[in-house]
Amino acid sequence: MSNIVILGAQWGDEGKGKVIDIFSAKSDYVVRYQGGNNAGHTVVVGKDSFVLHLIPSGILHKGTICVIGNGVVIDPKALLEEIAMLEKRGVSVDGRLFVSEEAHVIFPYHRTLDELKEQKKKKIGTTKRGIGPCYADKVARSGIRIIDLLEADTLREKLQSNLDEKNAVLTKIYGVENFSFDGLYGEYLEYGKKIKKYVCNTKRLLNDAISKRKRVLFEGAQGTLLDVDYGTYPFVTSSNSTAGGASTGTGVGPTKIDKVVGVVKAYTTRVGEGPFPTEFGPDLMERIRQKGKEFGATTGRPRRCGWFDAVVVGHSIMVNGIDEIVVTKLDVLDDLDSIKICTGYRYNGKVYNDFPSSIKALTACEPIYEELPGWQSDTTKITSYEKLPRNAKNYLKRVQALLHTKIVLISVGSERSQTFSKGA
């Protein structure tokens, strides 16, 4: 039995989709445990590229069962569009996709409130998909769950109560048009009918599978530094993207999880606002952005890029209990003369080796760097660790030594075949 959590150990976009796809080949179940359609996983299969926002990447393996857990917030329209996209491209989901009846539902008023809040206050850099307002309703105990879409009377009561509150906020505070009850009620009842065949008690499904010694892979979205508790708050997402979220977002107890694997890029990126100590200057930023195709899978926004930050990843290893590391996009550094690794921060005369909670400190700190020689040769066709250039191996060895955590896989391109193990 091997039940594994795979998650991002930076600010997201680490290449988790590809890594999850690889691990899915040896998994019986793949379950998404948090976030919503604000996240995007890109998987390249031969000449085909799939961008998945809600459905786990394991759906691309015919024998794998995929689950959307209770910790995910679901836009039913987006889910149905994703199902249709997969079916159109020859990937069947019937009998292979299951959705938690306890997952919360995103409504149009969530998206509107998300957008209006971004305009009114200091920007967080959200995707404006309604994720935060939906999680806010969940915590305020006024949310509407997937099971409610299947019960007309329950949906009527909950939706009317929500609209009374939301329409008052929209009209009196923001001065925008309110939402019609009849229109939303009819639309979401119809969504309920269309997704009913996928809905079940997923916590029972997963725990029964584990009791039968099935292998379950827990798929994290976003990254550790976007976790609502352990990230660069308030410039974070609205859920727990750390390993603890795998239990609360699925109903599988932590003692049933065997391993946590963290995915990191060989450099660092983030999307949206917030502190980023190792961010490149404009010239190197554009160079790496173009070579690494650093544009958001969900929004298309250009990603901010910077040097590898061992403080950030060390923090992630601690709060997630990460056992092993996967390094992606090593090839993006192929052309550089020298490469820096951040090993600490200096702020107000003090050196930080732990990730500070203070946003002020993170914004104003000076990164402390080690500099290593680059390898200046193409690694995209390399198929084993032994064949990597000496300086590339030295770079990986130094990263591993700083993190005190074993690197097990290395990726040098977007295709499945461009991945190999590091060995002992």
What 3-state class would DSSP assign to 159? helix
Look up residue 321 and give its two tokens. 């209990």
- By three-state DSSP, how is residue 364 classified? helix
Q: What is the C-alpha to C-alpha distance for residues 408 and 251, in angstroms, rounded to an integer?
A: 29
* Distance (Å, whole) CA 408 – CA 76: 37
- Residue 41 appears among annotated catalytic residues: yes
Q: Give the contacts of 254 (CB within 8 A, at least 6 positions apart).
A: 244, 247
| 406-411 vs 419-421, strand pairing mode | antiparallel
Report how far apart, in Å, the C-alpha atoms of 300 and of each of 40, 127, 294, 303 are. 10, 10, 9, 9
Instruction: Assess contact for 191 and 95: CB atoms under 8 A.
Output: no
DSSP class of 265: E
Task: Print burial letters for 5-16: b (CB count within 10 Å at least 16), e (below 16).
Answer: bbbbbbbbbbbb
List Cβ<8 Å contacts ≥24 apart for 205-208.
205/67, 205/98, 206/29, 206/31, 206/67, 206/69, 206/250, 206/251, 206/252, 207/251, 207/252, 207/256
Q: Which of 169, 163, 114, 103 is nearest to 138 (CA)?
A: 103
The secondary structure element, H or E, covering residue 166 is helix 152-172
Q: Which of 41, 61, 104, 315 is catalytic?
A: 41
CA nearest neighbour of 313 among 234, 407, 410: 407
208 is catalytic: no
Considering the candidates 13, 114, 227, 309, report the single residue annotated as catalytic.
13
User: What 3-state DSSP class applies to 330?
Assistant: helix
CA-based nearest residue to 205, from 345, 356, 95: 95
Which tokens go with 250? 């699925």
The set of catalytic residues is: 13, 41
